């Protein structure tokens, strides 16, 4: 059985982008959906854990640390959060 | 790692200093404020600071992001911001050449960390939906060496990185620790001093603490740091010799009623070791705590005729930074008064937890 995972709406995507930009100390227009946190925005491992922890608090979801490997850019984070919300 | 530096330093001197105080950022504001005798304690805005105090000695308008920029400051707490700012000011004015030898340049900072950060983090763990739903970036703020570590990382100080805590005597203990590191060859130039923050939680704790039987006095905050190195190194790198560190002594006391005796011994010992007499001491910057502790300090200094520099009455109870402000005040006074050249000065502290200390310097 396949389940359709509902995409995040614009408000939720905006919330996520705010969180990421706040933690990575970036302006909103410095980040695109595909720009890489680590390679392009100098994120280290503590920063990515911060992003994960902040998403859990904000959306009331639980994210496995293994998902960090997919959370390399905004598009990846949107997908991970959408899946976690659908569960 | 600290570099091996060969022969131990013959003469330890202070060759630079920086201060962030209730008078503002920098030495000029501090020296000017003290010289005018203006009290740097102002009414508190109860909305910003829900505390059981009407007034405090805050660094005016201190805003971490405005001073240090946005990079690396998102989760920085106030005491770390104050420490990093003051380290930055010291290096900017006196740091020429130190960057070339970062492994031999270190930081000995007196602080007990931020009680506000510790309590905030613990509260988040207890009140959140899950105990682990805390902001991990704020965890480093809960350990007492956070200001020291962060300041060194920010300013690339790769030598010894030490955090010292000892109440009102903290800065004297820091200088003693730094002197020992330099004598042991564990660095060539060390920034030593102390930092303290004003916070809601610190205010609430201090309100109910024992103040020698007296009412709590307004709290202050800030930091003062001193560049400590061998006299020859200072001259070689074109830095001024501001004062020579002749030594310091510390004693523990169990009852407040014995604090005076403990301090008296510290003073007698440090003078004897320097071959000096009480009459040689031209200037004294005592801690002047309230109540019984203050009376004990006064009695210990009874036989000394040198001028007293008031500090605490002007900037408030600066906690861990108290003695750092006292030493800064001495250096500011020496800069303004040429008669103090080659004269001795004494900085003293008695802490309610049972430490008495005295630092003896020769002014240059």
| A63 chain-B contacts, CB cut-off 8 A | none
| Contact check, Cβ <8 Å, B133/A46 | no
Identify whether the C-beta of residue B246 lies closer than 8 Å to the C-beta of residue B270.
Answer: yes
Return the number of CB contacts < 8 Å for A and B: 25
Of B72, B133, B137, the CB nearest to A56: B133
Q: Do B72 and A25 touch (CB under 8 A)?
A: yes
Higher pLDDT, A6 or B216: B216
Cβ-proximal residues to B62 (8 Å cutoff; 6+ apart), any chain: B20, B25, B78, B81, B82
Of the residues B136, B141, B149, B153, the best mutation for testing chain A's interface (the one with the most A CB atoms within 10 Å of its CB) is B136
Task: Tell me the pLDDT tens digit for each residue of A42-82.
Answer: 898 888 999 999 999 999 999 998 999 999 999 999 999 99
Distance to chain A for B71, nearest Cα, Å: 6
Chain A residues within 8 A of B133 when measuring between CB atoms: 53, 56-57
> By the 8 A CB rule, do B271 and B277 touch?
yes
Question: Would you say the C-alpha torsion B191, B193, B199, B204 has a positive or negative sign?
Answer: positive
Which residues have a Cβ under 8 Å from the Cβ of B200 and sit 6 or more positions away? B49, B50, B51, B116
pLDDT (0 to 100) of residue B129:
85
Of B74, B129, B134, the CB nearest to A25: B74
Between strands B12-21 and B222-230, the pairing is: antiparallel
Q: Which residue has the higher pLDDT, A57 or B3?
A: A57
Q: A28: domain CATH number?
A: 1.10.1200.10
Whether residues A60 and B135 touch (CB distance < 8 A) is answered with: no
Q: Give the confidence band of B2 by pLDDT, cuts at 50, 70, 90.
A: very low
* Digit-coded pLDDT (tens) for B81-107: 999 999 999 999 999 888 888 999 999
Residues across chain A: 87
Chain A residues whose CB is inside 8 A of the B65 CB are none
- Of A64, A5, A71, A67, the closest CA to residue A38 belongs to A71
pLDDT at A18 exceeding the cut of 70 = yes
Distance from CA of B277 to the nearest CA of A (A): 56
Quick one: pLDDT band at residue A4, thresholds 50, 70, 90?
A: confident
Residue-wise pLDDT for B166-203, tens only, equals 999 999 999 999 999 999 999 999 999 999 999 999 99
For residue B29, give the H/E element and its range.
helix B27-36
**Chain B interface test: which of A52, A53, A61 (most B C-beta within 10 Å):** A53
> Chain A partners of B70 at a C-beta cutoff of 8 Å?
25
Segments of chain B assigned to CATH 3.40.47.10? 12-236, 244-363
Q: Would you identify the CATH topology of the domain B12-236?
A: Peroxisomal Thiolase; Chain A, domain 1 (3.40.47)
Residue A59 buriedness (CB in 10 A; 0-12 / 13-18 / 19+): middle
For B244-363, CATH gives: 3.40.47.10
Would residue A5 count as lying in a domain? no
Interface of A with B (CB under 8 A): 22-23, 25, 46-47, 49-50, 53-54, 56-57, 60
The reply to whether residue A22 touches residue B74, judged by beta carbons under 8 angstroms, is: yes
Q: Answer whether residue A2 is part of any domain.
A: no
Task: State how beta strands B24-25 and B12-21 pair.
Answer: antiparallel
pLDDT above 50 (res B357):
yes
A13-31: average pLDDT:
94
In a domain, A63, yes or no: yes
pLDDT of A25 strictly over 60: yes
Residue whose C-alpha is closest to residue B246's, from B359, B334, B364, B330: B359
B114 touches B77 (CB < 8 A): yes
pLDDT per residue over B260-284, tens digit each?
999 999 999 999 999 999 999 999 9
The structure tokens listed for B48 are: 């910003």
Helix (H, G, I), strand (E, B) or coil at A1: coil
**Cα distance between residue B221 and residue B322, in whole Å:** 9
The whole domain housing A58 covers 10-86
Nearest by Cα to B350 from B331, B322, B325, B327: B322
Assembly ipTM: 0.76
Contact B26, B184 (CB under 8 A): no
Closest Cα in chain B to A23:
B74
From the list B70, B129, B136, which residue is nearest A25 (CB)? B70
Considering only CB atoms, which chain B residues are within 8 Å of A22? 74
The answer to whether position A4 is within a domain reads: no
Number of residues in chain B: 364
Question: How much of chain B, in percent, has pLDDT values that exceed 90?
Answer: 91
Strand (E) or helix (H) holding B254 = none
Contact A60 B129 (CB under 8 A): yes
Q: Which residue has the tokens 């920098």?
A: B26
Q: Do B135 and A50 touch (CB under 8 A)?
A: yes
Closest CA to B192 of B134, B279, B107: B107
Chain A residues near residue B135 by CB distance under 8 angstroms: 50, 53-54
Most B CBs within 10 A among A21, A48, A49, A50, hence the mutation to make, goes to A50
Mean pLDDT value across chain B: 95
Nearest to A46 among B129, B133, B136 (CB): B136
- Among the residues of A1-87, which ranges form H helices? 10-24, 37-41, 45-59, 74-86
Any domain includes A49: yes
> How close A2 comes to chain B (CA, Å)?
32
Higher pLDDT, B362 or B6: B362
Q: Give the whole-number percent of chain A exceeding pLDDT 90.
A: 72
Contact B159, B227 (CB under 8 A): no
Number of independent structural domains in chain A: 1
**B71, B72, B133: residue with CB nearest A57:** B133
Give me the pLDDT at residue B3, please.
Answer: 46
State residue A2's pLDDT score: 59
CB B163 within 8 A of CB B151: no
In a domain, A69, yes or no: yes
């Amino acid at each position: 059985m396949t389940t359709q995972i509902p995409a995040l709406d614009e408000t939720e995507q905006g919330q996520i982008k705010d969180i990421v930009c706040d933690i990575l100390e970036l302006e909103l227009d410095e980040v695109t959906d595909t720009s890489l946190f680590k390679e392009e925005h100098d994120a280290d491992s503590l920063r990515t854990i911060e992003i994960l922890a902040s998403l859990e608090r904000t959306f009331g979801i639980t994210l496995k640390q293994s998902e960090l490997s997919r959370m390399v850019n905004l598009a990846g984070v949107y997908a991970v959060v959408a899946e976690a919300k659908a569960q | 790692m600290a570099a091996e530096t060969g022969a131990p330093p013959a003469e330890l001197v202070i060759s630079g200093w920086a201060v962030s105080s209730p008078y503002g950022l920098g030495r000029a504001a501090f020296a000017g404020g003290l010289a005018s005798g203006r009290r740097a304690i102002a009414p508190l805005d109860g909305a910003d600071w829900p505390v059981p105090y009407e007034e405090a000695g805050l660094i005016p308008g201190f805003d971490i992001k405005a001073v240090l920029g946005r990079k690396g400051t998102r989760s920085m707490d106030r005491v770390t911001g104050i420490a990093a700012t003051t380290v930055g000011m010291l290096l900017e004015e006196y740091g020429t050449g130190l960057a070339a030898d970062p492994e031999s340049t270190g930081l000995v900072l007196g602080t007990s960390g931020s009680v506000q950060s510790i309590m905030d983090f613990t509260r988040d763990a207890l009140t959140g939906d899950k105990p682990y739903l805390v902001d991990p970036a704020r965890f480093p703020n809960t350990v007492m060496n956070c200001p020291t570590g962060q300041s060194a990382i920010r300013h690339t100080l790769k030598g010894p990185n030490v955090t010292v805590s000892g109440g009102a005597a903290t800065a004297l203990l820091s200088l003693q620790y730094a002197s020992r590191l330099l004598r042991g060859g564990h660095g060539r130039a060390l920034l030593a001093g102390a930092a303290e923050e004003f916070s809601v939680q610190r205010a609430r704790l201090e309100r109910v603490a024992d103040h020698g039987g007296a009412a709590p006095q307004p709290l202050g905050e800030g930091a003062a740091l001193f560049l400590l190195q061998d006299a020859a190194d200072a001259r070689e790198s074109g830095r001024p010799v501001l004062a020579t560190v002749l030594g310091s002594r510390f004693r523990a006391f169990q009852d407040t009623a014995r604090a005076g005796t403990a301090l008296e011994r510290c003073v007698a010992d440090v003078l004897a070791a320097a071959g000096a007499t009480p009459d040689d001491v031209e200037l004294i910057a005592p801690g002047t705590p309230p109540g019984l502790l203050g009376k004990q300090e006064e009695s210990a200094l009874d036989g000394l005729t040198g001028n007293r520099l008031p500090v605490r009455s002007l900037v408030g109870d600066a906690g861990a930074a108290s003695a750092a402000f006292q030493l800064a005040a001495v250096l500011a006074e020496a800069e303004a008064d040429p008669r103090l050249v080659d004269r001795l000065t004494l900085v003293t502290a008695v802490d309610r937890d049972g430490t008495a200390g005295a630092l003896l310097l020769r002014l240059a």
